[in-house]
Amino acid sequence: MTVSWKDAYAAIDSIFVNHPNFAYAMEEIRDLIELAPARTAPCIHVSGPPGVGKSTLKDRIAVEYPPVPNGAQVKLMGGLKMTADRHQLLIATMPPSPTVKGLARELLKAYGDEFWNRGDEYTLGDRVDRFVAANQTAAILIDEAQRAVERSGTVVSDKLIDWIKSRHETNSVGIILLGLGNLRHLFDADRQIERRWDAEIRLEPYRWFQPNGDPDYAGQDNFIGLLATFRDLSPVPLEFDVEDDDIAFRFFYLSRGLVDGIKKVLLKSTRLMKRGDKVAIDLPLLREAAEGAFRLEKNGMQNPFCPTFIAQPPPPLDDDYEIKIAKKRIKGGSPTSGSKRRRAQAVNKHLIL
């Protein structure tokens, strides 16, 4: 029976491949949740570059600990009461411009508080504490946590970090920070938060080479195993041997070791299948998909599925630990423009006189 391209897209999109670092991070989060209530709740920091699987980690742990509808009775300030879903694990996202109010409101919104956008810093913090207690929340996962660190590497707000520490101390709730590697600057800047958090759990891309450039044979085996899993779970045939070193390297080059990259080219291929009424994914289709799904030229990359491909290491991924210091714009133009303007004004003054 032929599978439609829509069904193929959905099936490939749902493929999940576990790997050791991912499994370790999941187990650490489970332990944190299952330990509650604990006098000293542990805190965890998980980092990785874009596309490595952080969102998948968040989504899969959310499935394991779903909210219980109408499972909590919350007493609010002023004698108000409300029924809310019970959250053993609460998941929220750090707002783009992090402040105490902004993060508190994101947490209350995740709890289902109908008054999430009302109140000052004190009352918002008190409401968060009430929800944590009433919901018997064991852990709070904050996604995009690197937003708490500015591009210069400094912490956005000491008050915000103190507020997070206070929630941990007041409620003995475990806090999981999920984000890019540059979040580590938060721990460099605040020794108290470093003391409360476990060592960083790092989600790394698959490797084909060691840091010194030598082949990483174990990494290659793991990557080929990843491709084989996609082949075995794909509802449409792959008309090439993913276990062939040459083919596997072409996938590695395009994806740069990220699961997201493999999935992206296969998903694009399924969208192109309908044009030629194809029932399988072959190398010409992959070539077209790679061209349409990736900005290859912009990133200094070849299309690895072209016959003219020259095998070489792909350009490195952006360093998510790196701090990019934005250049400050000087008001009024260049540093010398002010003196030039003053000279011009002086000349005009004398001309007028």
In the chain, the amino acid numbered 217 is Y
Strand (E) or helix (H) holding 45: strand 44-47
**What order do you get walking across the sheet with 89-93 strand by strand?**
89-93, 139-143, 174-179, 44-47, 201-202
pLDDT greater than 50 at residue 67: yes
Region of residue 153 (phi > 0: left; psi between -120 and 50: alpha; otherwise: beta): left
Mean of all residue pLDDT scores within the chain: 85
For residue 251, the tally of other CB atoms under 10 A from its CB is 24
100/107 Cα distance (integer angstroms): 11
Percent of the chain with pLDDT over 90: 57
CA 231 to chain centre: 26
pTM above 0.75, yes or no: yes
Cα-based distances in Å from 29 to 167, 195, 217: 18, 18, 30
Is the pLDDT at 9 greater than 60? The verdict is yes
Region 57-71: what's the mean pLDDT?
A: 90
- Give me the mean pLDDT over the 195-220 stretch: 92
Domain boundaries of the chain, sorted by first residue: 20-202, 208-331
What's the CATH number for 20-202? 3.40.50.300
Give the model's pLDDT for residue 156: 78
Q: What is the pLDDT of residues 167-195, one digit of tens each?
A: 998 888 999 999 999 888 888 877 778 88
